[in-house]
Amino acid sequence: MQESDQAGAPITARHIVVVGAGPAAHRFTESLASRFVAGGPPIRITVFGDEQHRAYDRVALSKRLSGRIDLALGSEDLWLQSEVEHRPGTAVVQVDPAAQTVTLESGELVGYDELVLATGSFATVPAIANALAGRVYRTVDDVDDLVAEAETLTARHARAVNVVVVGGGLLGLEAAGGLNRLGASASLVHSGRWLMSSQLDEGAGQALGRIIQNQGISLNLAVRPSEILLDSHGEVVGVELTDGRRLDADIVIFSIGITPRDELARNAGISTGERGGVVISAACESSAAHVWAIGEVANINGACVGLVAPANAMAEVVADRIWGGQALFPGVDDATKLKLSGVEVASFGDAFAATEHSLEIVYADPARGLYQKIVVSDDAKTLLGGIFVGDAAPYASLRPLLGRELPAEPGAYLSSAGGEVPAGADLPDDVQLCSCNNVSVGAVRSAIHGPGGPGLGCTDLGELKTCTRAGTQCGSCVPLVKKILETELLAAGLEVSTALCEHVSLSRSELFESVRILGLRSVEDVMTRFGAGLGCDVCKPVIASVVATQTSAYILDNGAGHMQDTNDRALANMQKDGTYSVVPRIPGGEITPAKLKVIADVAAHYDLYTKITGGQRIDMFGARLEQLPEIWKLLVDAGFESGQAYGKSLRTVKSCVGSTWCRYGVQDAVAMAVRLELRYRGLRSPHKFKLGVSGCARECAEARGKDIGIIASENGWNLYVGGNGGYQPAHAQLLAQDLDDETLISYIDRYVMYYIRTAERLQRTARWQEELPGGLDHVREVVCEDSLGIAADLEAAMALHVENYEDEWAATLKDPERLRRFHSFVNAPNTPDPSIVKVSERGQNRPAFPSEKAAGTVMLSGPSIPVRSSRP
C-alpha cells in the first residue's frame, strides 16, 4: 500500500509483522488498527499463524468438548480491513533482526518495520518413559482430536474410555470434567497435596477436591506419573505412578504447565530468560531493535505469565508505542475467576496471606464444597486478597477494591452473613473495574453519560460492553457493570428498563399483576393487550406460564401450545439424542413396592435407561416422542402423575425418614414432605423451585440447600428460605422457627405466591430475595407479619391452585386432540425417528456416539454385533 506526500513523492506504509495469531496477537492487531485514521500515517499489518483458525478464546477451550462451538474472538470485520492481512497456517521459521526480515516455512522472505512476537507457549510434557504416547490440551485441534479418539476407543472397547489427566490446574480440571461429562471414566494425577495448589490454599483446594470427586472424577494427589504403559501394539493401557500404583488408561493427557515458544528469538540472538521467554522491558521491547514481545512468550521481571489480563495490557502497550506513545506495562494482575467442572473458583491479590500481620476471615461449609476467604490488613479495613470456591458471587464487588478500604465489615461479603453483598456502585472513578481489558469505573460511567450529558451515551448493557470492552473477556465483572449502569441511570432520573423483551414492555412481575387485575384468561388476550409483533422465545413462555399459574389451566390449551419451549410442549425433557425422559412424581420419596414394580415393568418393556435422581425420584431415559402417551397411560393407571421435571415449577420435596423410623427424628418429615409436594405440585413459577424436609437438626434431607427448607425441632418446624444449588449455590436463611403444621404451611403459601407474583423471569428464589429492598427482613415482614396486608390474598391464590390442580398427563390422555402432538413425523405418525441409535453399556442402553452411529456396529467382549436402532 502506498500513498503520496504533498510533493507527490510516494510514502511507503510502515509494515508491522505479527508472529502468532492467538488472543494476544488479536488484541494487538485490533488495538493498532483502531488507531489508524484516514489521512494519518499509513500502516500495513500482517499476522502469521501456524494454526488454521483465526484467534479464539483459549480460556473457553473446554466448551469445545461438548461440541464444535465457535470460540473465535471479536468480529471477522477486523481481518477484512485493507490494512490488515491474516495468513493462517503459515509458520515463521526464522527472524533476522539485522535485516529486519522473517522467513516463512515456504522460504518466502518478508520484511518488517516492526516485529511483534506473540508466539505463545507449548504445553509442557514431562520427561517420563513413553511420554510421546500422551496428549496435550492446548488448542482447538487438540480438543477436537481428543473427542474423536475418545469416541473411537469407546466404540472399540464397548465401555467407557479410561482417561488419566496429569495436572490439577485449570486446564487439567477442565479436561477431566469435560471428558467425564462425555461419559469417560476420568482420573486426575496432581503433584500437589490439593488441587490448583498455585492459586488456592489448602482449605480451598480441599473444598474443590470434594466437589470434583463428587462428580465421579478420581483424584490422585501428591504423586506424579513415572511411565505411560503400552501394550505390544504400542497402544496406551495405563500409567504407572511414582508411589508404585498403576492406573488403567486408554488416553493420557498432560496439563502440567506451559513452555514459552521462544525458539525464534533464541535462534536470532535475542535475549531470553533463564527459564525461557523473550526478555522484555516495561515498554515490552526485546533486546533487538524494532522487535517486541507480548503474551505468554514474553518474560517480564523474570517470569512468563499465562493470563489474559497481562497479555492484553502488553498488546495495548506495544500498539501505543508503535504509534509514538509512551505507555508502560502496569504490572501483572494475577486475579482469576474461573468456571470449571460446574463450580465457581476465584482467587485474587494476596490470597495466601503472605503480607505481614494480615488477617484471614474464612467461612467453610465442607458439606456443600463451599470455601470463602478474605485477607485484610491487621486493622480489618484494607482488602489484600481473597479466595472463593463454590460461590464466587462476592468476587465482582471485591476485586475492584483490592488495596482499598472496604465499605463494610469483611465478614459481610461471606455466605455466612446471609444478607446482600455490599454493592460496588459507589466505587471511585479510578478503581479498575475490568482487569482483563483495563477498564476503570470512571470509563464506564463516562460511556453511560456520553458527550451530551447523563444518560445520553451507552444506556444498554450490551452496548456498554461493546463501547468500553468491560465484561467482554472473562465476564466476571458483568454484574458490577450492570449495577453501575442501573445506578447511573437512576441517578440521572432516567428509567431503567425492566422490559421482558422488545415485544413486551412490562417486567414479569408487572405483567403478572396486570393479568391478575384485568382477569385475562388466554395468551391471545395477553399478547393483544400487552404485546407487539409475534413475540419471541423470551416473552412467549413467560406469558404462557403467567396465564397457567392464574387460571390453573392445562399448559398447552388456549393458544399456549406454540408459546412453550420443546420440553413443555412434549411434557417431557428432551435429551441429547432426541429422545425424552419420563419422571413420575414420587412425593417425599415415599413409594410402595407395587408402584416400584410398575416403574420396573415400564422401564423393561420400553427398554429405558433408568437412574435414581438426587431428588428422590426415578428417571427413565430414552423414550421416543410417540411412546410417551403409551408409557404415561401405564403410569397414570398405576396412580402416578407427572413429576414436571420439564417445567418451571415445583420439582421435588426431598425428605429423610423422620421420626417414623430414625432414632434421632423428632418430627414426621415424610408426612410433611408428602403433604407439601401434593400441595404445590404443578404450580408454575418464574423458575423451578425445590423443598426439603429434615426430621431433625442432623439435616439428612439437605433442606438448607433448597429454595424452601424445613428442619424439625422438638418445638415444631424451623422454616428456611432462599437457598439453592446449581450455578450459584446459596444457603437458605432462617425465616421463622418453632412453627406448628398449619402456620408452617400458611407461611410457605405466602412465600411461594409472593415470589411468583414479584420475581422476574428465570430468577431463583435466592437471587429474588437478595434483590428485594430489605432482603430477608422484608420477606419476613410480608410473610410473617403481613406488613402489606396481602396475606389472605396470597393464601387464597394458593388455595385456588390446590383446588383446581389436574395432572397434565392425565388430562392429555383423556383428549384425542392433545394426543396428536405426540408423533415423531407428521406425515408418518407411527414411524419412529430413525436417527435414534443406542448402545449397551453397564446393562443399560445409552445414546450412541457419532462414531458409533457412523460405524453401524459396536464391539463387545464377544463378536461384533449390529448397533440396535429404532429403524423399523
- Residue ranges for the known binding site are 656, 662, 696, 700
810 sits in the region (left: phi over 0; alpha: psi -120 to 50; else beta) called: alpha
CA–CA gap between residue 817 and residue 830 (Å, rounded): 16
Q: Which grid cell is 587?
A: 412425593
| DSSP-assigned letter for residue 572 | S
CA–CA gap between residue 201 and residue 375 (Å, rounded): 12
What per-residue string of b and e applies to 588-621 under the rule 16 or more CB within 10 Å gives b?
Answer: bbbbeeebeebbeebbeebebbbeeeebbbbbbb
Q: What residue type is 789 in one-letter code?
A: G
CA–CA gap between residue 377 and residue 151 (Å, rounded): 52
Check: CB of residue 403 under 8 Å from CB of residue 432: no
For the annotated binding site for siroheme, the residues are 700
Helix pair 508-518, 523-530: axis angle to 10 deg? 110
∠ CA 235-238-244, nearest 5°, is 145
Which long-range contacts link 142-151 to residues 24+ away (Cβ below 8 Å)? 143/61, 143/62, 143/64, 143/65, 144/64, 144/68, 146/65, 146/175, 146/179, 146/251, 146/253, 147/65, 147/182, 148/851, 149/251, 150/179, 150/182, 150/184, 150/251, 151/849, 151/850, 151/851, 151/852
CA–CA gap between residue 720 and residue 691 (Å, rounded): 10
3-state secondary structure of 791: helix
205 by Cβ neighbours in 10 Å (0-12 / 13-18 / 19+) ranks as buried
CA–CA gap between residue 284 and residue 275 (Å, rounded): 18
Q: What residue type is 835 in one-letter code?
A: S
SS (H, E, C) 421-468: CCCCCCCCCCCEEECCCCEEHHHHHHHHHCCCCCCCCCCCHHHHHHHH
CA–CA gap between residue 78 and residue 84 (Å, rounded): 7
For the annotated binding site for [4Fe-4S] cluster, the residues are 656, 662, 696, 700
User: Taking the alpha carbons of 832, 834, 840, 846 in that order, is the dihedral positive or negative?
Assistant: negative
Q: Which grid cell is 2?
A: 502506498
CA–CA gap between residue 555 and residue 550 (Å, rounded): 11
CA–CA gap between residue 721 and residue 411 (Å, rounded): 21
Cα first-last separation, the chain: 64
Check: CB of residue 712 under 8 Å from CB of residue 696: yes
Check: CB of residue 685 under 8 Å from CB of residue 555: no
For 138-244, where are the alpha helices, taking DSSP H only?
A: 140-157, 170-181, 202-214
| Dmax (CA) of the chain | 100
3-state secondary structure of 179: helix
Nearest to 790 by CA among 749, 759, 761: 749
Q: Which grid cell is 794?
A: 396470597
Q: What is the layout of strands, in order, in the sheet containing 609-612? A: 573-574, 580-582, 618-623, 609-612
CA–CA gap between residue 672 and residue 804 (Å, rounded): 21
∠ CA 448-453-458, nearest 5°, is 25
For 721-764, where are the alpha helices, taking DSSP H only?
A: 741-758
Alpha-carbon distances, residue 129 vs 74, 125, 627, 648 (angstroms): 42, 11, 54, 53
